[in-house]
Amino acid sequence: MARGVPQPPDRPRHLGPRLLRRAPAPWFDWFLVQTNKLGQGGFLSGLALGIAAIIGYFKQTVRPVVMFFGAYILTALVLVLKLAFPRIYPHWPRPEPGPYADAAQALLYYPDRSELGDLGDTAVGAYPSGHVVNTLIWYGLLVMLTGAVLKTWQRRLLLTAPVAIVFFSTTYLGFHWLTDSIAGLFMGLALIRVMQRVHWTTVPLPLWLEPERRYRRP
């Protein structure tokens, strides 16, 4: 075990006080790990790209795909913050069950990672929670792409349920500190608001992306 990273006898939770005095059933942790996958960027971005491509094909326009790349670029801002604030994960998911960060390592900026040994490079990147940002950005984009065929309650469910589930699971499991998830929530809300403010149907595009404009009447 790396020096300076103590391993407690009982698995801690990072929501503040322990939510449960008794250790939860193994199936409950397994269930939360599965629900946490609702915020996996790779799957969500692939799904969004596929839907955008299908819509673009049938409507004969590249604009839905442009929307996708706009969202993709915005999610890259998460990496910028992770590099600017190298915060240690409370419970490193690899190796499992992994060591735990102590109180001193919970600081937002922890520049000295020499004491963490070989795990130093993989121990940081907690702030903000990328999973929480992903749920807001990608489910928000899915609603923007398919909202016309969804009912109001369906749109609201897609916009609220995944982020609430991922917020709880990623914090409860110790993958992120509570403040990581809160920061991810506010960042995701800001980024999806930027997406909604852009007029994607009329935003100017280069002619090579819309060559059919050559044949439109002025």
- pLDDT per residue over 44-54, tens digit each? 999 999 999 99
Distances (CA, A) of 173 to 100, 152, 206, 217: 12, 32, 46, 58
State mean pLDDT over 109-114.
Answer: 63
Q: CB–CB of 174/160 below 8 Å?
A: no
Write down the mean pLDDT value for the chain.
80
pTM, 2 dp: 0.79
- pLDDT per residue over 126-182, tens digit each? 889 999 999 999 999 999 999 889 999 999 999 999 999 999 999 988 888 899 999
pLDDT band at 99 (very low <50, low <70, confident <90, very high): low
For the chain, counts of helices (H) and of strands (E): 7, 0
